[in-house]
Structure 1
């Protein structure tokens, strides 16, 4: 975490802000669909912000704020915690000149100066998204520097990526901010996965009347099934951030994993703490097995959903378009580990 208290995290400050692995609660606002050949552009808000802070032309400053509405005030208030100022310049200047932030800004610009792989991956994934989800909204995409706060921010039909959260597992400041098991999820090659995943969760939020582990696993399986469709050259284990040995453990122990979940009566358990142990990042699933990789519940959900979708010939859009049907999907999939 950045040492200055003034610019430390505000993770709970607003429900619009989400880490890459946490579901958003609101749907994207309605907007006319764009044609498939319309490119998804990526605007570098982070590169333009320092110029705004030093800008002496009042009209030019106003144009900047207008161009980046509604993101700009939310960035200043909720992400950076700068209070409620007319133009936020004083607070932004303090932020940008803070020693740790200045270094973070320099390192981010250096790391992403010539890296276009993630932008291509992101654009191609959203082109597939628009094709496979024809009623969908394509987001306006920005990039920003958050001081290692939220990785991805969504506001209506806008999505912004905090590039300083993707400087690589070995980036020095990450040892202060992330657990060891999380650091591998902060490589630049995961930007596209995370951004599209958050957008899917925003457009198709988790809904369940019962809210049991099975319901959450099936929802996670639907998200992963959609991601495999939008990233057809990427396997499920890479999407989950698993190592080769973790992937092999899952394959070798699939039947026993399922047996243990059922035998321990976890499948219909509604305790949020237990559910989180199955689906959130962790060293291992503490309620299951010391060698099990974190987020194993997501992997189980994918096995169930992918089998059901394949047998029923259901698309990703069709799967995400139905809710509160986990029991039916499990029964029809005939999944038994």
Structure 2
């Protein structure tokens, strides 16, 4: 009986962490598939129950995600430290974080709308930039740290940063302008924006002015607007890029992202 119970728990964990996908048609089998891995559910199970099977799955099925969460997002230490699991569990016993864990699961019990928009947007991005490799996308829960984490061809969405502008913790710790960006509707634009920025960063070896940084972000934000087919960002830098593209309609997104001279947009 105990063995059967263990098998059922394992199957349940696999279902929690993954989203079922239909086998693609042969005609579409060469296309890259976009799906969202619900790592946050496994994480939530461990952080609220201390379930060892959940922890084991975090470390074996999602080793990259777990390392990035513990080391790069939460900064709790190295993932291989002897006491890191207890430290991780204890960290989230804070009452504010426990409330947040429950709120995340409530607000994001269903993510079908986001998954569909992510798939549409990333496939559209792939059409514009055919040389890029699409990332593995997953959801996680941080402690109100980074919203999007990109690395090792993965893209992590921290759902704790998208609980709505009127979320009580946000109201006490963030400005109105910041809270405006911490909404469900911003998940897909942020994913596209941060991923494109990771592919086309400002050269680290160059000393660039704030104006050049703003202009580069204007290009990224223009691309986000175009790829999502939404007017997400509106500012003078985006307007400059938009006006430039209208003057040069043959300009591709790939060419746009590789322009290094910010004064080019003012010509």
The TM-score bracket by the shorter chain reads 0.7 to 0.9
Q: Which residue of 2 aligns with 1:127?
A: 123
Question: Number of aligned pairs?
Answer: 234
Q: Which residue of 2 aligns with 1:212?
A: 209
Give the counterpart of 1:64 among 35, 46, 58: 58
Q: Structure 1 residue 169 and structure 2 residue 165: aligned?
A: yes
On the 8 A contact 1:141/1:160 being kept in 2, the answer is yes
Q: Which residue of 2 aligns with 1:40?
A: 34
Task: Considering fraction of residues, name the structure with more helix.
Answer: 2
Give the counterpart of 1:311 among 247, 251, 254: 247
> Mind listing any 5+ residue stretches in structure 2 that lack a counterpart?
1-27
Matches within 5 A, 1:103-142: 103-142=99-138
Q: Deviations over 1:143-166 (max 9, x none)?
A: 111111111111121111110111
Please report how far the alpha carbon of residue 52 of structure 1 lies from its aligned counterpart in structure 2 after TM superposition: 4.7
Distance 1:36 1:226, change over 3 A: farther
State the distance in 2 between where 1:80 and 1:328 align: 40
Q: Which residue of 2 aligns with 1:147?
A: 143
Matches within 5 A, 1:4-23: none
Give the counterpart of 2:228 among 231, 235, 241: 231
Secondary structure of the 2:149 match is strand
On the 8 A contact 1:222/1:316 being kept in 2, the answer is no
Q: Which residue of 2 aligns with 1:11?
A: none
Distance 1:51 1:114, change over 3 A: closer
Higher relative contact order (CA 8 A, sep 6+): 1
- The normalised TM-score by structure 1 is 0.63
Secondary structure of the 1:141 match is strand
State the distance in 1 between where 2:220 and 2:52 align: 46
Q: Which residue of 2 aligns with 1:92?
A: 88
Root mean square deviation, CA, Å: 2.5
Q: Structure 1 residue 191 and structure 2 residue 127: aligned?
A: no
Moved more, 211-220 or 67-76: 211-220
Secondary structure of the 1:190 match is helix
State the distance in 2 between where 1:130 and 1:189 align: 22
Please report how far the alpha carbon of residue 97 of structure 1 lies from its aligned counterpart in structure 2 after TM superposition: 2.9
Matches within 5 A, 1:276-315: 299-312=235-248, 313-315=250-252
Distance 1:56 1:109, change over 3 A: closer
Q: Deviations over 1:293-322 (max 9, x none)?
A: xxxxxx2222222222232210112210x2
Please report how far the alpha carbon of residue 75 of structure 1 lies from its aligned counterpart in structure 2 after TM superposition: 1.1
Distance 1:151 1:61, change over 3 A: closer
Distance 1:75 1:87, change over 3 A: farther
State the distance in 2 between where 1:210 and 1:95 align: 39
Distance 1:66 1:144, change over 3 A: same
State the distance in 1 between where 2:110 and 2:55 align: 28
Distance 1:214 1:231, change over 3 A: same
State the distance in 1 between where 2:29 and 2:172 align: 44
- The normalised TM-score by structure 2 is 0.78
Please report how far the alpha carbon of residue 197 of structure 1 lies from its aligned counterpart in structure 2 after TM superposition: 0.5
Distance 1:206 1:99, change over 3 A: same
